[in-house]
Structure formats: C-alpha cells, structure tokens
Amino acid sequence: MSEQLLLSNIRNVLARLEETIIFDLIERAQFRHNPVIYRSGPLGSALGGESLVGYHLKEIEKVHARIRRYTSPDEHPFFPGLPKPILPPLTYAENPLRPNTVNINCRLREIYEKEIVPAICRPGDDRQYGSSSLCDVSCLQAISKRIHYGKFVAEAKYREDPEAFGELCRRGNGEGLRERITDPEVEGEVLDRVKRKAETYCRELSRSGGPTADPAVMLDIYRRYIIPLNKDVQVAYLLETRG
C-alpha cells in the first residue's frame, strides 16, 4: 500500500491540521461576529455581487490556482472557473486516489458562516471587516483540507477490506458505509487531543487579557461539524469511485 494510505500517516497529517484549525479559530474569535461581511450588497458593487468573505476567498483562490494549488489531490477550491496554473504541471504518480468529483465546500461555507462563526465570536460589529475576512479565508481553507482528507481515509479503509466495502458500495448503501468507517475509539482520541490543545492554547492567550475562543466551543465544532463532514466525504468518495 502506498505510504500515503497508511492510516498512521494519514492520522499524523490530520493531527497537524488540528493545530492550524485551532489557531485559525482563535484568531477569528478575537473579532466580533461582523455579520455584514457574509451578505452580498452592503459593502458596495466593487465586490461583484459577492459578500466580502466570498470576494476575498475567490480572489485568493485565483492566485493560488495560478501556482497550481488545486492540482494537488488534497486541495479543493470553493469556486469553479479558476485560472489555469502558470507553473509547469506536476505529475502525481503516487496519488492513490481514484478520479472523483467530490467537493462539499459549498456546504462547508454555509455551515461555517451560519453556525461556526456565531458560535466562536462575540456578537456585534467592530468594523474589523478586512481582518475578520482574512481569518475566515484561513479557517475555511484549513477546515476544507481536513474534511476532504477523508478521501485518503476512505481509500485506505477500502483497500484493507475490499470485499466488505465493495458490497456496500455496489448496493449504494451509504448508511452501511458510514457505520463501517466509523471508529468511536479513534474519534474519541481525536476529540481528547483537540480538547487538550484548545485548552492549552486558549489558557496561554488569556493571560494577556485579550479575547480568546472557548475551548468547549472548538471541541463542539469538531464533534458536530468537522468529523461528520469528513465522514460525508468518505461515503461520497466510496459511492462515486467504487459503486
């Protein structure tokens, strides 16, 4: 099996992404909710009908697309129709994933803006629109990478037991696949690790007296959104590529 599909290696990648996501959420939590940045129209016609966050995210993705970020199998854009890379193409000969179209970033963005941001930020408007939007872009990209890494998890699990997984895929049994990929012990370890990291980082930052995120809320974000969305990606990938 490709080293990229060793579950121990995959879990190391996901553990490192925890650091990024926790820090990004903490950064966003220092600003107020600022709901105006998620609505199209209020901040002017220069945004082309997008919200400030949508405009910012799309412009960042245009730059990243030009340096071939989205040719990597573990990266997924939020917007279609991005520019072609200006760098020579890379061949990912070791890419273990089957060709697929699974991308749930539209769902992620909706959940992030409507549920995650109000949960981690104090209500109100502090007019720090640019700074808030910059944090949002970082959060969205990090969480997107975390949940879409589920494709590697799904491929690894399938190859460990192709007979059982293949039967579920052929029958289109999404619920059966979800049950089979779920490992309560591993999920518990992830949540324990996130809890420890969030408590440690927030405690250190709170000593400066500034606003910080609630560790319990960040743990709940992992439990309610990040882990379930990761499993949604796994199921969708298996049904599309093995069904």
Strand, coil or helix: 104: coil
Question: What pLDDT, on a 0 to 100 scale, did the predictor assign at position 2?
Answer: 58
Evaluate if residue 191 carries a pLDDT over 60: yes
Residue 189 pLDDT level (bands cut at 50, 70, 90): very high
pTM of this prediction? 0.94
**Average pLDDT of the residues in 169-196:** 96
CB 237 within 8 A of CB 102: yes
Judged on CB neighbours under 10 Å (0-12, 13-18, 19+), 28 is buried
Question: In angstroms, rounded to a whole number, what is the distance separating the alpha carbons of residues 153 and 140?
Answer: 20
Question: In angstroms, rounded to a whole number, what is the distance separating the alpha carbons of residues 54 and 59?
Answer: 9
**Average pLDDT of the residues in 167-189:** 96
Question: In angstroms, rounded to a whole number, what is the distance separating the alpha carbons of residues 50 and 41?
Answer: 7
Evaluate if residue 77 carries a pLDDT over 90: yes
**Average pLDDT of the residues in 54-63:** 98
Judged on CB neighbours under 10 Å (0-12, 13-18, 19+), 131 is middle
Domain boundaries, the chain: 3-242
Question: What pLDDT, on a 0 to 100 scale, did the predictor assign at position 90?
Answer: 81
**Residue 14: how many other CB atoms lie within 10 Å:** 19
Evaluate if residue 29 carries a pLDDT over 90: yes
**Average pLDDT of the residues in 10-35:** 93
CB 76 within 8 A of CB 146: no
Going from the C-alpha of 172 to that of each of 101, 166, 239, 240, the distances in angstroms are 17, 10, 6, 9
CATH architecture of 3-242: Orthogonal Bundle (1.10)
Question: In angstroms, rounded to a whole number, what is the distance separating the alpha carbons of residues 10 and 149?
Answer: 8
Burial profile 79-106: b = 16 or more Cβ within 10 angstroms, e = fewer: beebeebeeeeeeeeeebbeebebbbbe
